[in-house]
Amino acid sequence: MLTITFTLLLSACGGIDGQKYVDQQPPFDLREYFTGPVKAWGMIQDRSGNVIRKFDIDLVGTWDGNEGELVEDFRYYDGETQRRVLRLSDIGNGQYEVRADDIVDVGQAMSFGNAMNLNYTMALTLDSGTVNVDLEDWIWAMNDGVIINRADIKKFGITVAEITIFMKKE
């Protein structure tokens, strides 16, 4: 019994297996989805699950060959606004490199059928200064042009916050 319990605990800590989504529908195509305007709504939760910030985003994506740009205009419910520009490089086989002014080095993204996984380190600006945190994003395609984006924000391997974003292609 102890062995079964221990095995279940370990498997619960293993993370998401992208291979489970390879054959699921609807498919998610990053280039197709992020060409043109997209509307999004999201929230940030602390490690206890409390919502600490809400926001809306207007996104516009463009592509020139294998290079893409995704302009994200955030409007936080507390009145703050922010523009973030992601630069995307399609390197083939469902893999992308992701760059932005706040991404340390280069982020990596990988497609898995109707899902995509994105991992990167972000230089997060706080009132007390800048701190590097690791993000693991998962995006899942839903019906009717909707995608759900869920991200864990980690420091020293410990989840300190979570982000959930719902997006709709316009």
Quick check: 43 pLDDT over 80? yes
Q: Give the pLDDT mean for 119-141.
A: 94
Quick check: 12 pLDDT over 80? no
Name the pTM for this structure: 0.88
Quick check: 45 pLDDT over 50? yes
Contact 130, 136 (CB under 8 A): no
* Residues 95, 107: Cα–Cα separation, whole Å: 11
118: Cα separation from own chain's centroid? 6
Q: Give the pLDDT mean for 80-88.
A: 97
Quick check: 15 pLDDT over 70? yes
Q: Which fold does the domain 36-169 belong to in CATH?
A: Lipocalin (2.40.128)
Q: What mean pLDDT value characterizes the chain?
A: 91
Quick check: 6 pLDDT over 90? no
Domain positions in the chain are: 36-169
pLDDT of 125: 87
